[in-house]
Structure 1
Amino acid sequence: MNKLCTFIIVILALVSCKSPEARKPVSVKTGSFIDASVERNKKLNAKEHASIEKLLKNKNIDYIASQSGFWYYYNNKIDIDSLKTPNFGDVVNFNYDVKTINGNLIYSEEDLKTQNYAMDRQEIFTGLREGLKLMKPGETVTFLFPSQKAYGYYGDQKKIGTNMPLMCKVTVNSITEK
């Protein structure tokens, strides 16, 4: 009986020393939602760029393609080298309006009023923030923003809808250095 108890204890000790095994996942996620979203956004981006390119061909204005992914032209360009473009923290005083890329007015300058924007310290949509960095006091520029540079998927929850490319005419009144 003593030998049987010793034998059972030795067997239990050997069996209980087994290392733990990793559990298998119940379901495997493949990232298909993200892949589908990427494809959808690529198609949307290509469609918007095609419509903007078509619009640019129909107009007799030479738009400049920015490295940031939007287009612009100068309505009023200031060629004085002593005037500087804004840097981080500078306060830019400006007026602007917002239209669809077909020119239908969404927000007028009167609706939006004169804005004061602390460069890269306040919230403003990406395209406008990057566009202001190109401007000097006294300049007026018309920008064409694809939706990802404007209000993107959510719009502004008021008049600007989902994935809506925009045209903005911006006038910088003054730049106050920080």
Structure 2
Amino acid sequence: MRFLKNIPAVLAISLLMACCAKHQQPREPISHSQGTFMRESVARNKKLIAGEEGKIDSIIKSEPQRKYFASKKGYWYAYEVRNEKDTLRPRKGDIAYFEYEVKDFYGNVIYSEVQNRPQVYRVDRQNIMMGLRDGIKLMRKNEKVVFLFPSHMGYGYHGDNKRIGHNEPLVCTVTLNNFEKDTETTPE
């Protein structure tokens, strides 16, 4: 009788040992992805960028009076007002005071300078459009610069949920009025 009482415990232990002793093979995925989505996405983005760069080239050619410079980040810019005296530019942590206007590539005003006035931006510490984040660091005090941003340097595939649509390249005219060190934060 005593032996019969221990049978469930013995069976449970032997079952546990048998399960742990087996080396289980990992399950194979039901379907194998061939990466077609990624290839199609890359092809679509290359086509989008090529089209936007074609539009940018058209704008640059239609304005021979302006000298455009290509940035390392993939946008173009030209000076309307240049400051040759000052050498300092905003750096991370500085507070920049600027105004800007946003247009589409057809010249339609999306956001006017009056609507955007005034802007106070803590350089690289606040979230603003990627192109402006980089472009402001190229400017000197009292300069006015026209930026031609492809959509990936603007608001990308999502837009701004207001007036800027998805994959919309932008023309931004920025005036950097001043910048100063931020005295409220501690240095890194």
Residue 174 (structure 1) aligned with residue 178 (structure 2): yes
* C-alpha distance after superposition, 1:57-102 (max 9, x if no partner): 1211221111111111111000014x41001100000000000122
The residue that corresponds to 1:76 in the other structure is 81
- Shift of the alpha carbon at 1:18? 5.8
Question: 2:8 matched to which residue of 1?
Answer: none
Return the match for 2:57 from 53, 57, 60.
Answer: 53
Q: Normalising by structure 2, report the TM-score.
A: 0.82
Identical counterparts, % of pairs? 45
Where does residue 62 of structure 1 map in the other structure? 67
**Pairwise CA distance, 1:32:** 1.6
Q: 3-state SS of the aligned residue for 2:97?
A: strand
* 3-state DSSP of counterpart to 1:168: strand
Provide structure 2 residue ranges, at least 5 long, that are not aligned to the other structure: 1-17, 183-188
Which stretches in structure 1 are left out of the alignment for 5+ residues? 1-14
1:130 lines up with 2:146 in the alignment: no
- How high is the TM-score relative to the length of structure 1? 0.86
8 Å Cα contact 2:67/2:79 also seen in 1 = no
CA gap of 1:18–1:117, structure 2 versus 1, over 3 A, is: closer
Q: Is 1:120 the counterpart of 2:120 in the alignment? A: no
Residue deviations 1:19-43 (CA, integer Å, cap 9, x gap): 4333222111222212211110111
* 1:54 shift after superposition: 1.6
**Which amino acid counterpart does residue 78 of structure 1 have in structure 2?**
N
CA distance in 2, matches of 1:127, 1:142: 12
Counterpart Cα distance in 2 of 1:91 and 1:18: 64
Amino acid at match of 2:70: A
Matched, 1:139 2:143: yes
Letter in 2 for 1:115: Q
What CA RMSD, in Å, does the superposition of the two structures yield over aligned residues?
A: 1.6
- Tell me the alpha carbon deviations over residues 87-123 of structure 1, each in whole angstroms, 9 at most, x when there is no partner: 1100000000000122111110111121000000000
CA distance, structure 2, for counterparts of residue 115 and residue 106 of structure 1: 17
Partner Cα separation in structure 1 for residue 91 and residue 99 of structure 2: 19
Task: Spell out structure 1 runs of 4+ moving beyond 4 A.
Answer: 15-18
